[in-house]
Structure 1
Amino acid sequence: MRDTRESRLLLVLLVAIAFALITVDIRGGEESPVDGARRAAATVFGPVEDSVASAVNPVGNAIAAVRDSGDRHNRVADLERENAALKAKLGSDDRNRSRVRELDNLLKKAGAGQFGIKAAEVIAIGAAQGFSWTVTIDAGARDGIKRDMTVINGDGLVGRVTTVGPGTSTVLLASDPDFTVGTRMERSDELGFATGQGDRPLSVQLLNGKAKVKPGDRLVTFGSRADKPFVPGVPVGEVVRVDPSTGNLTRNIFVRPYVGFSKLDIVGVVVQAPRTDPRDTVLPPKPTPEPTVTVTVTPSPTGAPSGAPSGPPEGE
């Protein structure tokens, strides 16, 4: 249709009529004069609408299903994330419990020896220090750490501080071949020098070549002048092998250290030495041997068959 004055007037007239019919329909309610026309239109166009709806509904349902599937996927993803976070939290809790135990053992060890300590965490293994057996801890000069301080953990001697930075320090482990510490045997007080051998037991050279030593004997640190680099009384390890005596002035033994150098985490730097030598009081208690059960068998009288009475028959 061409856009003329007449067409515009016709459009305005149709719109006015449509508004008039809508007004009459609303005011008339169920008695509306156009109700019959509406029913007729529904009768004619209803089946068509139903057919269209039947054709379109699967598409709509599919879209809804896809949308709902996306929601389900999001919910599953959220649950997976929550589960992962929960597992991480549980793992973190287990880790924290382990570290609490380590710290508790360290504090007990320090209390038994009256060592004033600064607790620290091992944050690196000494790749930067060449091939030495070293670790880096997260405590330094700002924490009162100085060179040549003894380092312990809840098991015993870890090493000594060799380098100090503002917030970190390097610790030379007792397992390092360049590490040497004076030792004292439990009870016998025999003195010696322990040297690291990497992942092998410590090599200890006793000053007395005739010293009586056996596997299971235990050693502690002897201590140094002015308590640097070593304070006395720190557990070192347990004898696992004794070289035969050859008549030399010294004697070699091999000691398994109490500390597991491959799994260090929480350590303590001894910033204050004990007032008196704790001697052997910091050593762990020796395990109590299990009682031996002895069974005594009483033999039966000779000549009596098994299960037969040994006395005279009744009536005699």
Structure 2
Amino acid sequence: MRMTRRRWGLAPGEDDGTGADPSGGRGTPSRALVAGLLMACASLMVLDHGEDRLLDPARQALGEVVGPAQSATASAVRPFVELPDWLEDKDAARARLAALEAENAELRAEMRTSDYDRNRLAELEGLTSAAVDLGLALVPARVVGVGPSQSFSSTVTIDAGSEAGLRPDLTVVNNDGLVGRVLRVTATTATVLLVVDPDSTVGGRVARSMELGFLKGRGDLGGGARLDLELLDETVVPDQGDTVVTWGSRTGTSPYVAGVPVGEVVSVYNSVRETSQRAVIDPYVDFASLDLVGVVVPSGTRSDRAVVEADGSLR
């Protein structure tokens, strides 16, 4: 009996020849199970890559269930993912808006002053041309005051005086023609008597006939400003539209230099009381909008500002 039990009883770890795991199922799977799983995977791969694609219905059904859930999740998460980019774009847009507003403000300011700057440039260019045409040096100056606080009603104050080389009885012009003459000066300003003042007398010449006369003002500064030309020869009748210029010494600078345009004849009449021939002159200068003027000075005059020379250069 002892030998029978020893024969039929198995020692621990001993194989009984059936292939079963003597440990009771614990440990690695059997070779038959592994082989079966491999064959199943191979079969699924063959079926999925075939022309009939037998697994497509199952895959489609799974997509219909999972797809909406993925879309909803992405929509819910997107605002949080895109928040940093949105904040960055908003800051950049705000910076661009501020830059555009500053640029627009600058353009509006330029538009408001563009006409003024353009007119000033045109006056300066005209003054340079006047210096060349006259062959004389000019000290540029700006009109800074107009009567009536001055001694004469038809006068203006300019921002150049003795420090700029000015003195009384110098001719004053602009790019249109004769303005007047310097009446008195301070270190930095000068008072100019305009040719339209009733107390102003200017020697004039009809350019076409070269006939001489004297110009007197009527005291008007606006569009109705006129001068009266009394001709020395009362038998001479100038034509309407004739140009009148100053006459004087070609080399002199006071009180009026020769050849400066004054205006043109608009009408002629006889003065019975004074037995003389008079012509009404429309001045070229608009005295109501005077700005840049030039004071005729001798060549080489020392000045605290740039001088427009007779050749158009600045000194």
- TM-score, scaled relative to structure 1: 0.58
Q: How does 1:80-95 map to 2 (within 5 A)?
A: 83-95=104-116
Deviations 1:262-295 (A, max 9, x none): 111111000128xxxxxxxxxxxxxxxxxxxxxx
Give the aligned partner of residue 176 of structure 1. Answer: 197
Quick check: 91-100 or 257-266, which moved more? 91-100
- Separation of aligned partners in 2, 1:209 and 1:180: 19
- Separation of aligned partners in 2, 1:144 and 1:115: 14
Q: How does 1:279-290 map to 2 (within 5 A)?
A: none
Give the aligned partner of residue 228 of structure 2. Answer: 203
Q: How does 1:155-234 map to 2 (within 5 A)?
A: 155-197=176-218, 198-199=220-221, 200-223=225-248, 226-234=252-260
2:256 is aligned with 1:235: no
- Separation of aligned partners in 2, 1:203 and 1:184: 12
Distance 1:259 1:217, change over 3 A: same
- Separation of aligned partners in 2, 1:213 and 1:219: 10
- In the alignment, is the contact (CA less than 8 A) between 1:208 and 1:249 conserved in 2? no
Query: Match of 1:243, SS?
Result: strand
Q: Aligned-pair RMSD on alpha carbons?
A: 3.0
Shift of 1:136: 1.3
- Separation of aligned partners in 2, 1:244 and 1:141: 43
2:292 is aligned with 1:266: yes
Deviations 1:30-71 (A, max 9, x none): xxxxxxxxxxxxxxxxxxxxxxxxxxxxxxxxxxxxxx9xxx
Distance 1:208 1:90, change over 3 A: same
Give the aligned partner of residue 25 of structure 2. Answer: none
Quick check: 225-234 or 110-119, which moved more? 225-234
Read off the aligned partner of 1:229 and give its amino acid letter.
Answer: P
Quick check: 135-144 or 222-231, which moved more? 222-231
Read off the aligned partner of 1:100 and give its amino acid letter.
Answer: L
2:277 is aligned with 1:256: no
Aligned residue pairs, count: 208
Query: Match of 1:219, SS?
Result: strand
Read off the aligned partner of 1:223 and give its amino acid letter.
Answer: G
Shift of 1:130: 5.0
- Separation of aligned partners in 1, 2:210 and 2:162: 36
Shift of 1:250: 2.3
Q: Percent of counterpart pairs with the same letter?
A: 47
- Separation of aligned partners in 2, 1:219 and 1:98: 26
- In the alignment, is the contact (CA less than 8 A) between 2:160 and 2:190 conserved in 1? yes
Shift of 1:85: 3.6
Shift of 1:233: 0.6
Deviations 1:160-216 (A, max 9, x none): 111211111111111111111010111311111111111431011111111121211
Query: Match of 1:233, SS?
Result: coil
Quick check: 208-217 or 220-229, which moved more? 220-229
Which structure's relative contact order is higher, taking Cα pairs within 8 Å and 6+ residues apart?
Answer: 2
- Please tell me whether Structure 1 or Structure 2 has the larger radius of gyration of its CA atoms: 2
Query: Match of 2:226, SS?
Result: strand
Structure 2 residue aligned with 1:127, among 148, 151, 159? 148
Read off the aligned partner of 1:119 and give its amino acid letter.
Answer: P
Distance 1:131 1:83, change over 3 A: farther
Read off the aligned partner of 1:213 and give its amino acid letter.
Answer: P
Shift of 1:133: 1.2
